[in-house]
Chain A
Amino acid sequence: MHPAPSIIAFSTFSGLGLGLLFWLGIDQTPPTGWVAFAFFAIGYALAVGGLVSSTFHLGRPERALKAFTQWQTSWLSREAWAAVAALVTMGLYAFMLVFLNIHLAILGQIGAFFCLVTVYTTSMIYAQLKTVPRWNTGLTSALFIALSVAGGALLSGRVTIGLILILVAGGIQALWWKTGDTRFAKSGTDLKTATGLGSIGTVRAFEPPHTGTNYLVNEMVYTVGRRHALKLRMIAFLLMLVVPVLLLLLPYPHIFGVLALLSHIAGVLVSRWLFFAEAEHVVGLYYGMR
C-alpha cells in the first residue's frame, strides 16, 4: 500500500497524543494549573494535529463532516465519533483541572476510555480489510493500542511503566512482523482464485491492461520500499525499543527521557511507514505483482 505521509503522521501522532491524554485521564493525582495546561496542550496538539493531517489525503476535504454519518457500518465514521467523544470529554476534564482546580476522576476515566476506543477504531480501519492480509488480524489493533499507551506513558514522564510498555509494544511489533510475512500465502488468495483459471494450469500475468501506470497500481501495489524492508525493520526496532530502553535505564530521566521519547517516536514513524509500504493488496495479483 502507498505510504502516504499524511496518514503515517496522522496515525502516529494522534496515537501518541491520545496515549498521553489516556494517562492524564486515569491519573489519580493529575497535574493542575499551568503544568496541566502544558500537558493537555501537548496531548491536544498531537491528537488534533494528527486528525487534521488525515484530511490532507482526501480528494474532497471540504466534505469531511459527512464522515460522521455512517457509524453503523464504517470504522472510519466510528473513528470520527470516538475522536470527538474523547476530545470533548478530555477537554471538559482538562478545563476543570486547569482553570477550576477540580479533579473529577470519573470524567477523566471516561475520557481515557474514549481515547483508547479512538485508537482501536483507527486500527480497525486497517484490520478489517480482507484485501490486505498483512493487516487483517487482531494483532494490528493490539499493536496500535500498545504503541499509543507506551508513547503516551513516555510523554507523560512515567519511566517505569513506559519502560515496560515499550517492551510489550516491541514484542507485539515483532510478532506482527513475523506472522505478517506468511499471512498473504495463508489467506488462500492467489492468481488462480483471482482469475478462476487455476483449473486449466499455471496462470501467469502476460500483459497488463495498459503500458502506463494507474491509480490502483500506485495506491495498492507499492513495491519500492519493500527492497530494504528488513533493514528498516531493524532500524525501527532499534529506535522504538532498544535505544529508549537503554536511555531510560540511565540516571537523569529528564534529559535522557526526552531523548528516549524522540527516539521512540522516530522508530514508530519508521515502523508505521513499513506498515503501509510492506502491506500487499490482493489486487496486485491481477497485475502479476504483490
Chain B
Amino acid sequence: MTQLPEKTDRKMGLVIDLDTCVGCHACVVSCKGWNTENYGAPLSDQNPYGADPSGTFLNRIHSYEVQPETGPAQLVHFPKSCLHCEDAPCVTVCPTGASYKRTEDGIVLVNEKDCIGCGLCAWACPYGARELDKAEGVMKKCTLCVDRIYNENLPEEDRVPACVRTCPSNARHFGDLGDPDSDVSQLVAERGGMDLMPELGTKPVNKYLPPRPKDRLNEEIDILAPLLAPVVQEPKGFLGWLDKALEKL
C-alpha cells in the first residue's frame, strides 16, 4: 500500500559520521556484493569492462570540498543511500503499491513483483536513492539489509546492514532512531545530527553527523609582529655576493 503509516513502531536507520568517513568506498562494494545475491533482483552492470561502464548501486559516496571563510579547505566524504524518510514521497507516488513503508520498523521497500518500472518514485526522491535496474526493469533501493538484520542464521555481530558491518572507520551506525535512549539517538543528540534537505519535508530517518571543528595551528598573531625582525635573513658570503650580482644584471 502506498499510504504511509501514521507512525511506525520503530524507526530503524543509519547514522553516518561525516567526520570519520575516509571515503574508501568499502561500503559501496559490500552493499553491492550483499544485495546483488540476496533480496530481490541482482544489481546489474552494463558494459562493466568496456569504455562506458555503468551499473545499479544502492549506496554511493560523493566527496565535497568545503571552504571556510578562513583557513584551508576541508574535504568531506559523503556516503548517500536511502534515508528511509518518515514522509517518503517515493512511496505515495507509486501507482502499483510496489513501494511501501513498513509499519513495524519504518523500512521503505519495493515489492519487485509489483513494480512496473515507471520511474516516478526515483523522480520523487530528492536524494537519488532509487535506481532503475536496466537488466531487470524494476526499481532498486536500499533495503537496510532487511535480510541480514533479522537473520538468525547469521552470527549476531553480522545482523547489521552490510555497509555498517564493513566500514573500517566506524563511520556508519545502525539502530532505532525512534527510541531516544538508543545508542544512535544519543549519538545524534550529542553530535548535532542533521537532516538532508529538511526544507522538502521528507523527514529522513537517517541522520548525518557534521564534521567536528578542525584543529587549527596557533593563529594568534603578536600585535608587535610588524616591528619584529624579519625571519628571512639576508644571505652572506658567496651567496650574498651571488645574490647582489644577479640583482644588478
CB pair B97–A70 under 8 Å, yes or no, is yes
Checking A69, A202, A283, A286 against B96 with a beta-carbon cut-off of 8 angstroms, the contacting residue is A69
CB pair A200–B125 under 8 Å, yes or no, is no
Q: Does A251 contact B (CB under 8 A)?
A: no
Q: Does A159 contact B (CB under 8 A)?
A: no
A73-B92, A196-B196 as given contacts; A215 in contact with B131, CB under 8 Å: yes
CB pair A193–B199 under 8 Å, yes or no, is yes
Checking A125, A129, A193 against B198 with a beta-carbon cut-off of 8 angstroms, the contacting residue is A193
Q: Does B194 contact A (CB under 8 A)?
A: yes
Q: Does A197 contact B (CB under 8 A)?
A: yes
The answer for the CA separation of A131 and B96 in the assembled complex, in Å, is 21
Checking B64, B65, B97 against A69 with a beta-carbon cut-off of 8 angstroms, the contacting residue is B97
The answer for the CA separation of A256 and B56 in the assembled complex, in Å, is 51
A197-B64, A209-B62 as given contacts; A131 in contact with B115, CB under 8 Å: no
Distance in Å: Cβ of B89 to nearest Cβ of chain A:
7
Q: Which residues of B contact A131 (CB under 8 A)?
A: 89, 123-126, 200
Q: Which residues of A contact B139 (CB under 8 A)?
A: 59
Distance in Å: Cβ of B100 to nearest Cβ of chain A:
10
Distance in Å: Cβ of B12 to nearest Cβ of chain A:
21
Distance in Å: Cβ of A202 to nearest Cβ of chain B:
5
Q: Which residues of B contact A82 (CB under 8 A)?
A: none
A60-B116, A193-B199, A202-B67 as given contacts; A132 in contact with B2, CB under 8 Å: no
CB pair A60–B138 under 8 Å, yes or no, is yes
CB pair A189–B199 under 8 Å, yes or no, is yes
Q: Which residues of B contact A188 (CB under 8 A)?
A: 199
Checking A67, A130, A207, A220 against B118 with a beta-carbon cut-off of 8 angstroms, the contacting residue is A67
Q: Which residues of B contact A283 (CB under 8 A)?
A: 125-128
Q: How large is the interface on A (under 10, 10 to 19, 20 to 34, 35 or more residues)?
A: 35 or more
Q: Across the interface, name the chain B residue whose C-beta is closest to A66.
A: B96
Q: Which of B53-111 contact A (CB under 8 A)?
A: 53-57, 60-69, 73-76, 78, 80, 89, 91-98
A74-B95, A202-B66 as given contacts; A196 in contact with B208, CB under 8 Å: yes
CB pair B116–A58 under 8 Å, yes or no, is yes
Q: Does B114 contact A (CB under 8 A)?
A: yes
CB pair A67–B200 under 8 Å, yes or no, is no
A59-B116, A205-B64 as given contacts; A282 in contact with B197, CB under 8 Å: yes
Q: B20-57 interface mask toward A, CB cutoff 8 Å, 1 = contact, 0 = none?
A: 00000100100000000000000000000000111111
CB pair A67–B116 under 8 Å, yes or no, is yes
Instruction: Say whether chain B's binding surface is mostly helix, strand, loop, or mixed.
Output: loop
The answer for the CA separation of A237 and B235 in the assembled complex, in Å, is 74
Q: Does A80 contact B (CB under 8 A)?
A: yes
CB pair B138–A73 under 8 Å, yes or no, is no
Q: Across the interface, name the chain B residue whose C-beta is closest to A202.
A: B67
Q: Across the interface, name the chain A residue whose C-beta is closest to B93.
A: A74
Q: Which residues of B contact A63 (CB under 8 A)?
A: 96, 114-116
Q: Which residues of A contact B92 (CB under 8 A)?
A: 73-74
Q: Does A219 contact B (CB under 8 A)?
A: yes
CB pair A206–B65 under 8 Å, yes or no, is yes
Q: Across the interface, name the chain B residue whose C-beta is closest to A218.
A: B54
Q: Which residues of A contact B80 (CB under 8 A)?
A: 209, 286
Most A Cβ at <10 Å: residue of B2, B89, B96, B114: B96
Q: Does A76 contact B (CB under 8 A)?
A: yes
The answer for the CA separation of A210 and B56 in the assembled complex, in Å, is 12
Distance in Å: Cβ of A246 to nearest Cβ of chain B:
38
CB pair B95–A77 under 8 Å, yes or no, is yes
Q: Which residues of A contact B132 (CB under 8 A)?
A: 59, 215, 219
Q: Which residues of A contact B25 (CB under 8 A)?
A: 209
CB pair A60–B117 under 8 Å, yes or no, is yes
The answer for the CA separation of A33 and B164 in the assembled complex, in Å, is 70
A76-B120, A206-B64 as given contacts; A66 in contact with B114, CB under 8 Å: yes
CB pair A216–B54 under 8 Å, yes or no, is no
CB pair A70–B2 under 8 Å, yes or no, is yes
CB pair B128–A189 under 8 Å, yes or no, is no
CB pair B69–A201 under 8 Å, yes or no, is yes
Distance in Å: Cβ of A50 to nearest Cβ of chain B:
16
Q: Across the interface, name the chain B residue whose C-beta is closest to A194.
A: B197
A-B pairs with beta carbons under 8 Å apart, 20 shown: A59-B115, A66-B96, A66-B98, A66-B116, A70-B1, A70-B94, A73-B91, A74-B93, A77-B96, A130-B89, A131-B126, A193-B197, A194-B126, A195-B196, A207-B62, A208-B62, A209-B60, A209-B80, A219-B119, A286-B128
8 closest cross-chain pairs (CB), A and B: A59-B117, A59-B137, A209-B60, A201-B68, A67-B95, A66-B96, A76-B95, A207-B63
